Amino acid sequence: MSKSKVTLPIDLALQGGGAHGAFTWGVLDRLLDERRLVVAGISGTSAGAFNAVALASGLMQGSRQAAQAQLRTVWEGVARISAWAAPAQTAHEWIDYAWGRWWAGSWGAAAPSSNLSPYQFNPLNLNPLRGLLTEAIDFDAVRRNDRMGLFIATTHVRSGNLHVFRNADITVDVVLASACLPLLFQAVDIHGEAYWDGGFAGNPSLEPLVTESEADDLLLIQINPRQRSQVPTDTRDIQERINEITFNTSLLKELRSITLLKQVVAMSEPRLVGSRGAYLFRRMQALRVHRIEGDHRLAELGAGSKTDTRAHSLARLHRLGVEAADAWLRQHGSALGHHATVDVVAEFGVGTVQGAPPSRPSTTPASSPASSPPRRPLQK
């Protein structure tokens, strides 16, 4: 555990990815041991939204240990309800069943079950996660939260647009909407509007962290693999890769937008960057992006692990998350507050392809603490 008395505000962007959210739980568990790191903002989607509200609720109880305990309560609760609902005997099998019917329907299979929607096979709209969240999370405390910005991404069904709910508006329905798989659960109604899983539109959304938080260090916890070492050839692997690409697309778009703005800032005249009307330019200049990812650790577990909510599987994912965070802190922890550890220009700049060398070397200088503009503090 870090003993430093100097604190550093950071933002956390928590991606969704089913049971792999337990990997993020492990990462957060380890980060909470670093007392110099103070969470200024959290953006979460789907399983990332579960982790976000658990972390915020725990911190509002007054200690990092409370936040760690709250995270554990939520994920142990997920394991306890893994035997919910027919026709399958476990949540693993149930979600696998639902996803399987989705893909069967997409590819035109003639199985009768592929014609059933959640409005037909689950007319009472049962969702065991509602009881878990209601019991485990103090949503009144989450809404009173004045220590950090909290942003939960959902997809507005009628328009297809991203809708981000903020601190005072976050309820159990908002979190369930952020994790609402359309072929498994009925759309969640919030103030007369229907919402689906936020992963379709923002997984997670980075924009509110960039524009509304005080921190210049943004740490992304990415659990959907960016790359695969081999081209998938069997049906299940192909479907899984399609799923990974789909739920990474919105994140890649936001990272490319950040990259473009950073490139524009690097080419702009200093007087423009420093002008009163160029707040976003100054934010881009100061922003330092970091990433902890599941990469090969999660890829090697196979597609089924995303839907395996059994206790031993979640414990393994948690352990992998702790190990990944610990390794990242040893290698990159000293960069926090000083420079980025993800070269967004090289990875996401115009003309670059992930997995291939950048078309030209990046000329964007790393941001330094001295370049960070004054920010309105969120924490009290």
State the first-to-last Cα distance of the chain, in angstroms, to the nearest integer: 23
Q: Are strands 188-190 and 162-166 parallel, antiparallel or unpaired?
A: unpaired
C-alpha dist (Å) from residue 231 to 103, 227, 240, 297, 327:
19, 10, 12, 18, 28
Q: Which helix (H) or strand (E) holds 10?
A: strand 8-14
Tokens describing residue 219: 């740490």
For residue range 265-313, list pLDDT tens digits in order.
Answer: 777 755 555 554 467 777 888 899 999 999 888 888 877 788 899 999 9
DSSP label at 303?
A: G
pLDDT at 5: 67
Q: Under a CB-based contact definition with an 8 Å cutoff, are residues 66 and 355 in contact? A: no
Residue 208 preceded by cis peptide, ω within 30: no
Gap between the Cα atoms of 56 and 54, Å rounded: 6
For residue range 3-18, list pLDDT tens digits in order.
Answer: 556 899 999 999 999 9
Q: What angle do CA 18, 237, 21 make, to 5 degrees?
A: 15
DSSP label at 232?
A: -
Q: Which residue has the higher pLDDT, 101 or 227?
A: 227
Average pLDDT over residues 306-334: 95
| DSSP symbols for 138-160 | -HHHHHH--SSEEEEEEEETTT-
Q: Which residues lie below 8 Å from residue 188, measured CB to CB, with a gap of 6+?
A: 154, 173, 176, 177, 180, 194, 195, 196
pLDDT at 149: 96
Residue 204 preceded by cis peptide, ω within 30: yes
Of all residues in the chain, the percent with pLDDT exceeding 70 is: 79
